[in-house]
Amino acid sequence: MLYVEVPFMKYILTAILACAAVCAGAQEQPPANPVPPPAAQASPKPQGDQLPPPPKQLSRAELQKNAASLEEAVRKAPEDPELRVKLGFTYAHLERADDAQREFEAAVRLDPKKAIAHYMLGLIYEKKGLRAQAVAAWQACLDNTKDPRQRDAAARHLHHLSPRGAP
C-alpha cells in the first residue's frame, strides 16, 4: 500500500509546484530568458509566507507546449537544475512519471541540496514501490530543506516507510 493515494497525488503535485515556484523565486536568481512553469503563469505573487493559490488547470495541449519549451531550454542550458525541476513538474502534470523522475534526478545531480527535487523523487519512488530510494530521497529532503511543511511531510513519509518498531 502506498502512502499517497493516486487521486490525492495530483493535488499534492499541484501544491508542490506552487510551493516550488515560491521557493525558487525567493531563493534563486532566474535564468536568462526563463521559461515560466505553469504555476508561474497562473498564480499571483504570494504575500509574506503565504502560498499562492493553486494554479489553474492547464489543458494537456498547454502542458505539452510548456514541456516542449522547457525541453528546448534544457537543451540550451543542460546544467541548470532549476530548468530540470520545472520540466520535472511539467512531466508530473502530464503523468509522465519516468520522465519526471529522470529530470528530478538530473536536478539532484546538478544541485544535491535541491530539496524540492528530493521531495518529488520521494513521492515518485514511493509510488513506484522503490522503498530504499524513497527513504534516501525523503532523508535528503529533510536534510536540505528549511521549509517546515517539507520537513514535516518528509518526516511523516520516513516514519511511514520505517520498519515496524523503529522510532
Domain locations in the chain?
Answer: 6-21+59-161
Q: What is the pTM of this model?
A: 0.68
Residue 163 confidence (pLDDT): 83
Across the 167 residues of the chain, what is the mean pLDDT of every consecutive 10-residue run? Answer: 46 50 43 44 38 62 94 97 95 94 98 96 96 97 95 95 68
3-state secondary structure of 151: helix
Residue 165 CB: number of other CB atoms within 10 A?
5
C-alpha cell at position 157: 513519509
Decide if domain 6-21+59-161 falls under CATH 1.25.40.10.
Answer: yes
25-64 exposure pattern, b = at least 16 Cβ within 10 A, e = fewer: eeeeeeeeeebebbbbebbeebeeeeebeebeebeeeebe
